[in-house]
Amino acid sequence: MIKVNVHTDHRGLENNLPLERISDTLSGDDSLLWVDVADPTPEDLRLIGAEFAFHPLAMEDALRRHQRPKIDHYDGFLFMVFYGLATDDGRPVAREIDLFVGKNYLVTVHDGTLPAVPETADRWCENVERQGNRGIGLLVYSLLDSIVDGYFPVVDDLADRIEDLEAGVFAEGGSSRDEQAAIFALKKDLLAIRRVLGPERDVMNVLVRRDAPVFGGEEVVYFQDVYDHILRVTDAIDTYRDLLSSALDAHLSMTSYHLNEVVKRLTSSSIILMSMTLIAGIYGMNFAHMPELDWRLGYVWALGLMVAVGAALVALFRRIDWL
C-alpha cells in the first residue's frame, strides 16, 4: 500500500496524491514529499524506483530486506536501513524500515505496521500546516526519533524480566529448568537487540559527524539527540548483559549450593540410620553369651540406645550445620 503526502509552499499539504503526479512535484523546489510504502509488492517498488530513479543496488536491498542498519550514500539520495522494536508475546521483535532520503523527498518502505510511521506522519502534517515546510532533515529526524523512542518500553520490559529472574534466583532456591530457559531466552533477546543497535549507532554517528550533503548543519543537534538516545539504550542493554551473566553465575552457584545442602542432609540422615541399624545388628548376633539379651528391659535398652545414638548424631550434625 502506497501513501503519498506532499507539502508545497503555494498549495499547502496534499494527502494521498496519485503516484503519477510525483515527478511533477519533485521538480518544484518548494515541495516536500513523503511516500510511505507498506508491505510493498515487487511491482510497487519497481514503480517507485522508476519514479525517483533510484540506484538498482538500493532497490535490491529494499526488495530483499533483512539488511543490517546502514547508511549508503548514492548520487542524489541517501539509503538508510533502520529497525523499530516492538514486544510480541513478551519477546522483542525488530521490524525493518528502509528510508530513501532525497533533497526534498522521503520514501519509507516497511512490512506491516510500524507505530512510529503514522505517529510521525500525523505530527508532521500538523506541523507543516502550522509552521510551513521546515526541510527534509527535520522530517527524517522526527521519524528516527519516534522509532528510537519506541525502544524504551521494550528495554523496560527486559529490565522487568531480569528483575523477576533475579528475585527467582535468590528467593525460592532449587534449580528449575524454567529459570535456565528464561536466562537463555533473555540472552538471545539481548543479542538480537544488540545486533540492531550497534550498526544503528554507526549510522547516527555518520549523521552527527559529517555534514551530510542533504541535511543542514543546524540539524546536527537534532540527530545528536537521537544518537544520545541510542547510546542510552545501548548502555542499558550492555548493563543487562552483565547483570544477566551475574544472574547466571548466581544461579549456578545457588544450584551447587543446594546440591551441597541436599547431599549433606541426605548423607547425614543415612549415617544416622546406619548407626541405628548397627545396634540392631549387634543385638541380632547369635552368641550364646550375650548378657543384654536376657535382661528384662533389654529390648527397651536397645531401642533406647538407638534413639540416643540417633538423637546424639542429629544434635551433632545440627551443630555443624549438616542437617
Name residues contacting a copy of itself, limited to 120-159 (CB under 8 A): none
Q: Between 10 and 289, whose beta carbon lies closer to a copy of itself? A: 289
Tell me the CA distances in angstroms from 79 to 2, 41, 123, 321, one per residue in order. 18, 19, 23, 67
> Minimum CB separation from a copy of itself for residue 18, in Å?
31
Bridge partners, residue 301, by sequence: none
Name the strand (E) or helix (H) holding 34.
strand 31-38
With b meaning 16 or more CB within 10 Å and e meaning fewer, what string describes 165-199?
A: bbebbeeeeebeeebeebbeebeebbebbeebbeb
Number of residues lying near a copy of itself (CB under 8 A) = 92
The residue with cell 508491505 is 39
Q: Residue 51 or residue 225: which is nearer to a copy of itself going by CB?
A: 225
Structure-derived torsion over alpha carbons of residues 264, 267, 271, 273, reported in degrees to the nearest 10 = 120
Applying CB under 8 A, among 3, 269, 305, 314 the residue interacting with a copy of itself is 269
246 sits near a copy of itself (criterion: CB under 8 A): yes
List residues bridging with 83 in a β-sheet: 96
Per-residue CA distances from 152 to 144, 149, 237, 280 (Å): 14, 6, 11, 69
Select from 270, 308, 312, 318 the one that contacts a copy of itself (CB under 8 A): 270
Residue 194 in 3-state DSSP? Answer: helix
Q: Which is nearer to a copy of itself, 72 or 119 (CB)?
A: 72
319: contact with a copy of itself by CB under 8 A: no
CB of 65 to a copy of itself, least distance (A): 12
Residue range at the interface with a copy of itself (CB under 8 A); choices 16-24, 31-39, 85-93, 296-304? 296-304
203-222: contacts with a copy of itself (CB under 8 A) = 221-222
| Contacting residue, 44, 72, 119, 157, with a copy of itself by CB under 8 A | 72
Closest to a copy of itself by CB, 9 or 238: 238
Site for a copy of itself in 43-62 (CB under 8 A): 55, 57, 61
Contacts with a copy of itself in 297-316 (CB under 8 A)? 297-299, 302-303, 306
Binding to a copy of itself (CB under 8 A) within 83-122 occurs at none
Q: Which stretch binds a copy of itself (CB under 8 A): 5-13, 32-40, 108-116, 260-268?
A: 260-268
DSSP letters, 205-259, are HHHHHS--TTS-GGGHHHHHHHHHHHHHHHHHHHHHHHHHHHHHHHHHHHHHHHH
Residues 39/112, Cβ–Cβ less than 8 Å: yes
Q: Give the footprint of a copy of itself on residues 174-193 (CB under 8 A).
A: 174-175, 177, 180-181, 183-184, 187-188, 191-192
DSSP 21: G
